[in-house]
Chain A
Amino acid sequence: MSEPIIKLDNIKKNFGSVIALEGVSFDVNPGECHCLLGDNGAGKSTFIKTMSGVHPPSSGEIYFQGEKVTFNSPHDAISKGIATVYQDLGMIPLMSVSRNFFLGNEPTKGWPVKLFDHETANKITEDEMSKFQILLRSPEQAVGTLSGGERQTVAIARAVYFGAKVLILDEPTSALGVKQTANVLDTIDKMRTKGIAVVFITHNVRHAYSVGDRFTVLDRGKTIATANKNEVSPDKLQNLMAGGKELPSLED
């Protein structure tokens, strides 16, 4: 098996007196889709935020391509090719779709002063969105005027565009229609074949089972099970996702 592109070791995270993560270890290989499952409040979002540089972990180590790293800001993670779709999306309603799409990674042109290249930004945004079968009225329309699913699609398209090595998706299909959901699952599959590592959080067992290679279940800030696809049936997975405390650990 290949070396994990990103590996997190014994991650703990406290918010004041709240213990959100009590030592979670996790890794994902290039070309693999690793699903992160668990009940509401299990700590999934908090965990992926330590991976994307939003929350510095209280303790624990992160290794990227075998090297120990610390992400001081999301920018550090993004510049390593780790892109994320957050559960709350991270879209700014008053800004245009293309300004949102390239936020933090604006294309520039000109010399000596580099200016925001709106033309390129608009064009790429339109192209990337149409790959997800969303026709924009205009890339300059405000994100606030989009539907919930359209907004989610912008966030996904953006992450796919910038996720050169690792793509993290936190419940990316919660607001999507049938066609768009199929499209997102298909995209995950495509990204995987391209050798990109995918971390996929979902509450839908069919979605998880259809694209996942490996499954990790969190509960109340702890890992309760990790299993490969061939070790677990959809029924078992369903059980695990519902909490799974009654099931024996599937750790090998």
Chain B
Amino acid sequence: MQNKIDERIRNIGFFQKTLVRPEFGSICGVILVIIFFLLIASDNGMFNPDGIRNWTVVSAQFAIIAVGACLLMIAGEFDLSVGSMIGFSGMVLAIGSIHFGLPVWQSIILAYILSIALGGVNGFIVIKTKLPSFIVTLAFLYILRGLTIFMSVTTTSKTILSGMKPLADADWLAPIFGGEVLTGLFQWMGDKGWIEVFKRGVFEGQPVVSGVPNLILWAIGLVIFGHWLLTRTRFGNWIYAAGGDASAAKYAGVPVNRVKILLFMFTAFCACTFAMCQVTEFGSAGADRGLLKEFEAIICVVIGGALLTGGYGSVIGAGLGAIMFGVVQQGLFFSGAEASLFRVFLGGLLLVAVITNTYIRRLIVGTGD
């Protein structure tokens, strides 16, 4: 019906069309915070190679868990056990490799299997009891954290295990998480004098930033995968539907329960990936690792334009939310601001994001809502 034009179509301007894209707010936000910190913190080295590496790593960590939280939130559920899952899977890796002397790659696979299975249990309980996932995963937040501490104290009588670095470096699988790429390029740039190199010590002549941490590749890869899954596949359509109206989705024959359980497992996969990168890169695991990460992931997702009520959101947005989060956190650190201000800033940011999102939703479904 291309030739007939409905006279009631008001021309929705380009501006408004852009505004209803879920990523729009977070793109503006990222640009704003980067300009802000370029103005106040660039003297302090935030935008040196070393500084950039610092905040991109932090952002990438947020992004990894935000992708899982984002898809799950669009499907209408939350996982508050992400932080405890990070502590748990990191500890499984460290205890397995250090205490029980398993090869690192076996411990990594074990950590993945256990955490994905626990994610499945989370999802299964939510589906079977029909309780809000908020409550079920809150219970898991405590259960998993307690189990992690218990497990590490009873096997090793410690809550922090270090000494992973040499084991990880010697393993074939671990460098996928803790290693770096493009080291040759960075060395070459260092030799050319384009980037800073160490002037003395054992690392003399080596560039300060020796490469791109694989953690960043994981983050980019997961964001691309999540975005592709959500927007290009049938499964993505089911994710939107499960969160938009689960009973309507069931009427249409969408396997809502399967979708949700799989996404709980995927969220656990993301948390485990976070932990594997953290433990192999920093060489230690702690039973208290990942504290509050579930909320940070949810904040990234909400800043990224997703609705807390489900059915709407964007993985790219969540990735941008993670960048914003990382830039603000490290930017305040670089500019020497009082650390407590970070929380104030974060709270403010969250409030602005939620208010904007509510407004955007009115634009999408009309004002009748």
Taking beta carbons and an 8 Å cutoff, which residues of A are in contact with B?
52-54, 73-75, 77-79, 84, 86, 88-95, 99, 102-106, 108, 113-116, 126, 130, 135, 137, 142, 144-145
Contacts and interface: CB of A to CB of B under 8 A. Distances in A.
A91 B247 CA distance: 10
A192 B179 CA distance: 66
Contacts of A102: 237
A103 B250 contact: no
Contacts of B249: 92, 103-104
Interface in B240-259: 240-241, 244-245, 247-255
Contact of A103 (B237, B361, B364): B237
Given A99-B240, A103-B241, A92 B253 contact: no
A86 B241 CA distance: 16
A55 to B, nearest CB: 11
B200 interface: no
B255 A73 contact: yes
A9 to B, nearest CB: 24
B364 A145 contact: yes
B252 A90 contact: yes
Interface string B160-203: 00000000000000000000000000000000000000000000
A146 to B, nearest CB: 9
A227 B192 CA distance: 93
Interface of B: 1, 4, 6, 9, 232-234, 236-238, 240-241, 244-245, 247-255, 307, 311-312, 361, 364-366, 368-369
A92 to B, nearest CB: 4
B253 A73 contact: yes
B253 A95 contact: no
Given A106-B237, A126-B1, A137-B9, A92 B366 contact: no
A93 B253 contact: no
A74 B241 CA distance: 15
Contacts of A104: 238, 241, 249, 252-254
Given A74-B253, A75-B253, A75-B255, A91 B248 contact: yes
B87 to A, nearest CB: 35
A92 B248 contact: yes
Given A106-B234, A135-B1, A144-B369, A93 B244 contact: yes
Contacts of B238: 103-104
B232 A95 contact: no
A78 B232 CA distance: 23
B251 A94 contact: no
B244 A95 contact: yes
Contact of A115 (B233, B248, B312, B365): B233
A144 B364 contact: yes
Contact of A74 (B6, B251, B312, B365): B251
A127 to B, nearest CB: 8
Nearest to B367: A145
A92 B240 contact: yes
Contacts of B9: 137
Nearest to A115: B232
Q: Which 8 A-B pairs have the closest CB atoms?
A: A144-B365, A75-B253, A92-B244, A104-B252, A104-B253, A90-B251, A90-B248, A106-B234
Given A84-B251, A91-B248, A93-B245, A145 B366 contact: yes
Contacts of A54: 250-251
Contacts of A135: 1, 4, 6
A84 B250 CA distance: 12
A126 B3 CA distance: 13
B237 A94 contact: no
Contacts of A79: 253
A161 to B, nearest CB: 13
Contacts of A89: 248
B365 A94 contact: yes
Among the interface residues B9, B232, B244, B366, which one has the most CB atoms of the partner chain A within 10 A?
B244
Contacts of B369: 144
A89 B253 CA distance: 14
Contacts of B254: 75, 103-104
Nearest to B256: A73
Given A52-B251, A73-B255, A86-B251, 5 more contacts: A78-B252, A94-B311, A103-B252, A104-B249, A144-B366
A142 B250 CA distance: 19
Given A115-B232, A137-B6, A74 B250 contact: yes
Nearest to A138: B9
Contacts of B251: 52, 54, 74, 84, 86, 90
A47 B233 CA distance: 34
B232 A93 contact: no
A130 B2 CA distance: 11
